[in-house]
Structure 1
């Protein structure tokens, strides 16, 4: 029969592994929703700029038609006006701003859950009772399930951007030097080393 401390270490290790997996999934999903929101905002801005340019071009061509007394201005104005109408209808149906906001809200909820999981991992290492950690894990798991159920769908492009941001750009992490610059001096690791 295994020694009680060995069983306890195995159980702690299994719980730690599960919490780390939950943290990783929450971090990836959080970043993916951030990237989806960024994509919607970028598309929104591009369409708005296109609408402004098309409006200016349409107005200019119609002014040329009025003052230049040439039918080409009217033809160009009509074509540009039709394109502008297409952009406006697409923009109305796509609801890019609303979609971006939904992803931002989901990302904010996931950020909270991710940070709670990180705190739980720290608590586990600091000796918090496994029963307390399990209860909190179960509560967080239920909260994450509710967030995932209500979340809008993401796409492969946003996931790839999230993967790049987390793996290559390390957007989720700070170096000790960066943290030392952000934190008050009394919390600096340089100060603690003295």
Structure 2
């Protein structure tokens, strides 16, 4: 196997990993956004119901109304505390930021694959790959934690069945057609 082919295989694998992680962070942001919307609606409804219950207590004084008003107020307080302690919207933004950074990095891997196809110097290709890897690890180090649900959703979206193991077809599915791997490709390197 020639040096350029080794570099290409390594870059393709790194590209797939970045594409995979990018999609996971997109899906995690989607999950948190769905939770955020549900909690926002629940917060509004519970606040309105608590206000109605308190106003009703002014007009009448049954015990059941006091109990329901107290429960609804408790739910409203729980939702507000949940927002403050878990910072759901901040988590959405962190995952979106990480996804954007990974998308930019993914595009740089595509550009490097193009350079490989254009017969650039192997030493220059390796140097650029090492810079990309350094940038990748910097992004990974500051990336927020994801859930298994986001991994499953990303897997379904990208049709990838193995963690950190990608077939040529899976990688080709993420790349522009001109950078797909084919039988004629190996002879051109």
Q: Tell me the TM-score normalized by structure 2.
A: 0.81
What is the root-mean-square deviation in Å for CA atoms of aligned residues?
2.1
Equivalent of 1:123, from 103, 109, 115? Answer: 115
Instruction: Report what 1:68 is aligned to.
Output: 60
| Structure 1 stretches of 4+ moved >6 Å | none
1:65–1:71 CA contact under 8 A, matched in 2: no
Change (3 A) 1:87 1:81: same
- Could you tell me which runs of 5 or more consecutive residues in structure 1 were left unpaired when the two chains were aligned: 1-8, 176-194
Measured against aligned partners, the alpha-carbon deviations of 1:32-90 in whole angstroms (never above 9, x if no partner) come to 01111111111111111001111111112222222234333222111110121111111
Instruction: Report what 1:139 is aligned to.
Output: 131
Deviates more, 1:60-69 or 1:146-155: 60-69
Instruction: Report what 1:5 is aligned to.
Output: none
Equivalent residues in 2 for 1:1-16, closer than 5 Å = 10-16=2-8
Of structures 1 and 2, the larger Rg is shown by 1
Instruction: Report what 1:107 is aligned to.
Output: 99
Instruction: Report what 2:163 is aligned to.
Output: none
- Could you tell me which runs of 5 or more consecutive residues in structure 2 were left unpaired when the two chains were aligned: 161-169, 178-189
Give the superposition deviation at 1:174.
8.3
Higher relative contact order (CA 8 A, sep 6+): 2
Give the superposition deviation at 1:155.
1.8
